Structure 1
Amino acid sequence: MEKTRDAFYSVAQKTVVDAIVKVDGIEIGMFTRKTEAQLRLEYQDLARGTWEEAEAKVEEAYITQVEASTEAEFWSYLGAVPPLCRNVTGETESFKMSEMKFGCVTFIGVRIGERFFKFYDKKSLSHQQVIEKTRRHLASIEASAAESA
């Protein structure tokens, strides 16, 4: 079994910076040819882990909260590229863009009744999970509004 390569990554800058290699006993970035100390000058939150851990941490950084959108924006995104999947069930509709932002994270457009929403999340979410996430967001907004009233 091949050993998993370690990597430097930055969650704040949402990037896997470089794979780690050892040259003359010193660990450096495979492509940048910089040491960890040198990279830390550019990436204050520089971390290291396996390549898989680095990708997973950066992927998580791309997931966003649900936010309000417009009908025009919904149709604009839906028509930009062929959707990965589109679901319409009664008063709800969702689609995922076929282009990924990073890893398996993509843009998700949502319609519930006459209201429109958007967020980035993993393409593996089902339509039901997308609608549930959006409804939780709506419930938290309504709860906040009730508390302030």
Structure 2
Amino acid sequence: MRLFTLKTDSMKTAMLILFATVIIYGCNTSSKDEIIEFIPGTYVRTGQNEFGKEFDTLVITIQNPAAKEFKIQNRWHYIRQVEGEANVPEYKVKETSGIYNAETRLLEEAETLDHYSFDVKEKILFNGTNKFKKIK
């Protein structure tokens, strides 16, 4: 009878440890934010209308990890069309910064207060109606 009691006690102890482990892992709220890890990279967008072609590139790098601050570089290239002929291309480079808000899951640009949202599965950045594809 002693052997049976010993096995029962061991099983109870094992079940208690297993239950406690499940509870601890279930209550773990320090899961990583997949969006903040996804943000750094290069995003591209192209557009065309009757006035010309537009090429947009956003390069986002981490600037201050503790503050969730990112450097945002926007490289813009536009080829204006006049009467079917392409004019000399126009180029602009703008650098700014942005802060990631973990509650809203948005990156807010400091100067214009534009909000960038992210679709991690599709590898897409949204800036309003503009849709950028992540290439690296």
Specify which structure has the higher proportion of helix: 1
TM-score (structure 2 length as normaliser)? 0.30
Specify which structure has the higher proportion of strand: 2
TM-score (structure 1 length as normaliser)? 0.27
